[in-house]
Amino acid sequence: MNKSWQARVGPYGLSLLILGLFLLLWQSATHPPKFDPSGKTEDQLTLLEFNGDIVRDASGKYIFNPDKVSGLPGPMKVLKKARIELGEAFTRKGTNDHGIGLLVFYTIKRFLAGFMAGSVVAILLGILVGLSKPLYVALNPFIQVLKPISPLAWMPLMLYSVKDPVWTAILVVFMASLWPTVANTAFGVNAIRKDYLQVAALLEMSYWRRLFTVILPAAAPAIIAGLRISFGSALVAVVPAEMLLGELGAGYLTWTEWNNLDISGVIFAILVVGVVGYTLDYAFGRLAQIFNYSEV
């Protein structure tokens, strides 16, 4: 009986409530005002009509021209746009006008190629660095300098060297997914509990067997944590890379819609990027669980 309202709606109810409130605010903030002709002379109204600011509706009254809006579009307009876009998700209308489903597919393909290549290189490099103290000390300054460089900063150089936007986009994602995994893998390999290595030594394991049965599994939680961070930063990099390179994809959509001055399209594209990112991150999280184990 005395439950608080928070307990009564539950966390998901609260989510819906926040969403509803947000949409309501959005709608009221972007709702076009009614045109008020009072206080305006006939000449002024004619001029406004001539400019296309106002039109006559069916009953002959002046209203604001719905096709000439300034300011942000409301949720209803974005929803309308989304319905149109999703309706033709897999159609190809021209070389640069592909449906949203296809664009998302291109982005995921590009992202996965760059992320996987980057992760493989990063894990190998991380193991190498983590296993050898001198190498760790020697390479650490380079890693520290390279790490804070935004992956997008590499883009001009890559575009110049590979001369191909498709590969450049993949390389940007590659660069974005490199450093967190390198750093975490090196740390994880370096911080393996001494007694695991002692057991490996007692059992006279060969170098490779020790690597695959002791070192890699022991470092797995740290490696996965690094991959997770890399995953996020690669996801963040793929969208601006597509924008700047003009490669078809979810990020590209944002930019084309801006060039079309279709702000509802821009908002729709942003939402698509969010949903795609969340879905990929969720899938990765589930995948990572397979390789995780609880420490003693």
Partner 1 sequence: MAYLRIDHVTKVYPVLDDKARKGETFVVFHNVSFEIQRGEFLTMIGHSGCGKSTLLNLIAGFDQPSAGGIILEGREVTRPGLDRMVVFQSFALMPWLTAFDNVRIGVRQAHPDWPANRVREWAQKYINLMNLHGAERKRPAFLSGGMRQRVGLARAFAVEPKVLLLDEPFAQIDALTRGSIQEELIRMWAETRNTVFMVTHDVDEAILLSDRIALMTNGPDAELAEIVEVTIPRPRTRAQLIDSPEYVRLRNHILHFLVKGAKREKHADAESRANGQPSAKPRRQPLLN
Interacting residues with partner 1 (CB under 8 A): 193, 195-196, 198-199, 201-205, 213-214, 217-218, 220, 293-296
SS3 64: strand
Nearer to partner 1, 110 or 210 (CB): 210
The nearest distance, CB 191 to partner 1, in angstroms, is 14
| Smallest separation, CB 214 to partner 1 (Å) | 7
How far apart (Å, rounded) are the C-alpha atoms in residues 7 and 62?
50
Q: How far is the CB of 26 from partner 1 (least distance, A)?
A: 48
Q: Which is nearer to partner 1, 183 or 214 (CB)?
A: 214
Toward partner 1, which CB reaches closer, 41 or 294?
294
**Two tokens, residue 112:** 């996965």
Nearest to 107 by CA among 258, 234, 225, 268: 234
Closest CA to 78 of 249, 259, 269, 261: 269
Q: How far is the CB of 131 from partner 1 (least distance, A)?
A: 18
Nearer to partner 1, 42 or 195 (CB): 195
At 257, the amino acid letter reads E
Is the CB of 22 or the CB of 212 nearer to partner 1?
212
Closest CB 224 distance from partner 1, rounded Å: 12
Largest CA distance in the chain: 99
Neighbours of 109 (CB within 10 A): 12
Which amino acid belongs to residue 157?
L
* Other residues' Cβ atoms within 10 Å of the Cβ of residue 93: 9
Residue by residue, DSSP assigns 220-260 as HHHHHHHHHHHHHHHHHHHHHHHHHHT-SSHHHHHHHHHHT
At 243, which amino acid appears? M
- Please state, as a whole number, how many other Cβ atoms lie within 10 Å of the Cβ of residue 91: 12
Minimal distance in Å, beta carbon 120 to partner 1?
A: 21
Q: Which is nearer to partner 1, 120 or 199 (CB)?
A: 199
| DSSP conformation class of 60 | S
| Closest separation in Å from C-beta 204 to partner 1 | 5
**Residue 90: in which H helix or E strand, if any?**
none
Nearest residue (CB) to partner 1, 261 versus 290:
290
